[in-house]
Structure 1
Amino acid sequence: MRALLVVNPKATTTSGRTRDVLTHALRSDLKLDVVHTEYRGHAGDLARQASEDGQVDLVVALGGDGTVNEVVNGLLAHGPNERVPRLAVVPGGSTNVFARALGLPNHPVEATGVLLDALEQHRERAIGLGKAMTEGLPDRWFTFTAGLGFDAGVVGRVEEQRRSGRRSTHALYVREALRHYVTEREHRRSGPITLEMNGEDSVPGMVMAIVSNTSPWTFLGNRPVFPSPSASFDTDLDLFGITRMTAFGTARTVRQILRPNPPVEDGSSTPGPTGKHVVSYHDVRHFTLVSQEPAPFQVDGDHLGDRSRVSFTGVRRALRVIV
């Protein structure tokens, strides 16, 4: 089996030791090429080339969620099909939501052990993905989340801090979320975002909209966050929105999304946050978010600028992952 290891050397917890351990282990069983990313989008370019080459069976991403997202978009540049190489992930970022949602350890060396065992046992899983579409721009696949409005604004603020030299930490996200809440007073009262969905009345006035392809949405340290606890790689997309962010209502919602949500055994949905200003949908194939003014937009924790209209589609069994 021929494999490509894509390494983001700038990922938060990626080290030379981790790379060397993973490389040595994989080379014992695979014909392995190792490439370090050199610019934003490079991981996507490498994965697309591997997919188009037709000779690569497996692409391993060593990095954070941003690196994984680039690799996924490169692999699916021409859409899902049986010839697309399988994906494997070794977490190397600060949060690693996708890897942890797959059940992988958050430590890269431990995750490497799981990956090697999965390869030996031929374990793989076909997972669903989300796709975000904006007219005039390339479609963007996402593995665990996309967002329009407040949460994407927080991601943008964090990226600004990182460009100025700050290290990505959970404390940084919390601090920037609080600052964003204080500065976005007008939008907290009346949001610009409207949800449009076939067969449903439109929902206007949303301050933010979080689209989930799996659960949890993110982690605060080791604590999972559950705005859409029933979201799954085996269903279509879930949507969580808020139409007004009052101090009391926001505090109540934060408590709800931080409460434990053990998976149910009978396949039924797990109750999520509730409240007068909460919007919630589970297992939706297609919908559109429209903003009266350009609003911040993020995909898998990567801020992509402002958007006025984004359509979302859930695509089941879009990619095969080694787990």
Structure 2
Amino acid sequence: MRALLVVNPAATTTSARTRDVLTHALASDLKLEVAETRYRGHARDLAQQAAEGGETELVVALGGDGTVNEVVNGLLANGPDPDSHPRLAVVPGGSTNVFARALGLPNDVVEATGALLDALRDGTERTVGLGLASGTPGTEDEGVPGRWFTFCAGFGFDAGVVGRVEQQRERGKRSTHALYVRQVVRQFMGEANRRHGTIRLERPGATAGTTEVVEGLVMSIICNTSPWTYLGNRPVYPSPEASFDAALDLFALSKLSYPAAARYVTQLLTSTPDRGPHGRHSLSLHDLTDFTLQSQVPLPFQMDGDHLGVRTSVTFTGVRRALRVIV
């Protein structure tokens, strides 16, 4: 099998020596080409070239969730047809690796490589659904190109936290869970609209031609799988029913006062695959194929842990069976 290994040399949990060992291990079973990323978006370009070249059957992403996201967007640059683009494989090398862990892969680089080689020899794979976020027609974000996400997106509060973490990392701070916790506190203290949200949800109503609207949301988390993220080894489940086999799930809050925030943070930290956060200020929707989030003011937006600036509107589409993954 002809394969391309896309390596992020800045991956948090791998060294040059580890990457060399993994490359040799994969090369023993594959006709392997190796390419290191050199700039933001390079993994996407490499994967798109591989997909359009027609000879590569497998693209392996060695890196964190950001690298995986770029590779996926390269593979699906011409649309989500699982039979027309190479398969994806993932070797986790980031600090959290949500997508890889949601697939059931070990979080250890060496163990994950062994699992990948076993899957290749056994010929096992699965086809997973993905989320697509794009500009909303008739708004100032109409021209924003669509982008795929593998496990989550966020519009509002959580995206603001991601942006703060990225700023700290650009200043040389290490990506640790303590860093995320500090930025959650700072985002909360600086959140101007935590009592009266500015986000409006629109989705098709139960009757053809109608639209269901929910106003006044403070934050919104869109999940393509469960869990949403990890705190160390603790999984967090805002949308326990979310699945690679369904469309998208939405968890949103309409209030973030001190008591409400304390209650929902506690519920998130104690969430399980059977029970997520709940209450009169929360909204949980399952298996959504199409919906739009709009805000009266520009809000931060993130996908797969990558801060993408601010938006006033985003349209989401859940696409089942979009990508083949070796697992």
- TM tier, smaller: over 0.9
**Which one of the candidate residues 155, 166, 172 is aligned to 2:162?**
155
> CA offsets per residue over residues 88-133 of structure 1, 9 Å max, x none?
0000001000000001111101100000000000010000000001
Instruction: Tell me, in whole angstroms, the C-alpha distance in 2 between the residues paired with 1:235 and 1:258.
Output: 24
Residue 317 of structure 1 is matched in structure 2 by 321
- Tell me which residue corresponds to 2:138: none
1:62-73 to 2 correspondence within 5 Å? 62-73=62-73
Matched residue type, 1:52 = E
- The corresponding residue for 1:223 is 234
Q: What is the DSSP-based 3-state SS (H/G/I as helix, E as strand, rest coil) of the residue aligned with 1:256?
A: helix
Give the Å deviation of 1:308.
0.7
Partner of residue 75, structure 2:
75
Q: Do the aligned partners of 1:21 and 1:109 also contact (CA within 8 Å) in 2?
A: no
Residue of 139, 146, 167 corresponding to 2:146: 139
In 2, Cα distance between equivalents of 1:108 and 1:187: 41
Task: Name the residue aligned to 2:268.
Answer: 257
Query: Which structure 2 residues correspond to residues 1-150 of structure 1 after superposition, within 5 A?
Result: 1-81=1-81, 82-134=83-135, 135-150=142-157
| Separation in 1, partners of 2:295, 2:181 | 25
Contact 1:14 1:62 in 2 (8 A): no
Contact preservation (8 Å) 2:227, 2:240: yes
Out of 160, 171, 174, the position equivalent to 1:167 is: 174
> How many Å separate the matches in 2 of 1:146 and 1:114?
28
Contact 2:271–2:277, Cα closer than 8 Å, also in 1: no
Question: Is the partner of 1:188 in helix, strand or coil?
Answer: coil
Instruction: Report the 3-state secondary structure (helix = DSSP H, G, I; strand = E; otherwise coil) of the residue aligned with 1:241.
Output: strand
Answer with 247-256 or 230-239: which moved more: 247-256
Equivalent residue, structure 1, for 2:188: 181
Output the CA distance in 1 between the equivalents of 2:293 and 2:254. 13
Matched residue of 1:153: which SS?
helix
Please state if 1:192 is matched with 2:192: no
Q: In structure 1, the residue corresponding to 2:17 is in which secondary structure? A: helix
Deviations 1:205-242 (A, max 9, x none): 11111000000000000001110011000001000001
User: Could you tell me whether the CA contact under 8 Å between 1:142 and 1:300 is conserved in 2?
Assistant: yes
Secondary structure, aligned partner of 2:318: strand
- The answer (yes or no) to whether the contact 2:238–2:271 under 8 Å persists in 1 is no
**Contact 2:227/2:239 (<8 A) preserved:** yes
What SS is found at the alignment partner of 2:194?
helix
C-alpha contact 2:65 2:305 (8 A) present in aligned 1: yes
Q: Deviations 1:34-65 (Å, cap 9, x if unpaired)?
A: 01100000000000000000000000000000
Give, as a single letter, the amino acid of the residue that structure 2 aligns with 1:13. T
Q: Which residue of 1 aligns with 2:246?
A: 235
SS of match in other structure, 1:194: strand
State the shift of 1:279 in Å: 1.1
Question: What SS does the corresponding residue of 2:167 show, helix, strand or coil?
Answer: helix
Aligned-residue offset at 1:14: 2.0
Match of 1:265 in 2: none
RMSD of the TM alignment (CA)? 0.9
Kindly tell me: are residues 260 and 309 of structure 1, through their superposed partners in 2, closer, same or farther at Cα, counting changes over 3 Å? closer
C-alpha contact 1:236 1:284 (8 A) present in aligned 2? yes
C-alpha separation in 2, matches of 1:15 and 1:50? 25
- Identity between Structure 1 and Structure 2 (%): 68
Separation in 2, partners of 1:94, 1:285: 30
Question: Shift of the alpha carbon at 1:272?
Answer: 2.4
Structure 1 counterpart of 2:259: 248
Per the alignment, residue 307 of structure 1 pairs with 311
Cα deviation for residue 256 of structure 1 reads 1.5
- State the SS of the aligned residue for 1:314: strand
Instruction: Note the C-alpha offset of 1:260.
Output: 4.6
| Count of aligned pairs between the two proteins | 315
Question: What is the aligned partner in structure 2 of residue 272 from structure 1?
Answer: 276
- Structure 2 segments unaligned to the other structure (5+ residues): 136-141, 206-210
Question: What letter corresponds to residue 61 of structure 1 in structure 2?
Answer: A
Q: 242-251 or 14-23: which moved more?
A: 14-23
Local SS of the residue matching 1:131: strand
Structure 1 segments, 4+ long, off by >4 Å, are none
**Which 10-residue stretch deviates more, 296-305 or 201-210?**
201-210
What's the secondary structure of 2:160's corresponding residue? helix
In structure 2, the partner of 1:285 is: 289
Give the Cα–Cα distance (whole angstroms) in 1 for the partners of residues 65 and 219 of structure 2: 21
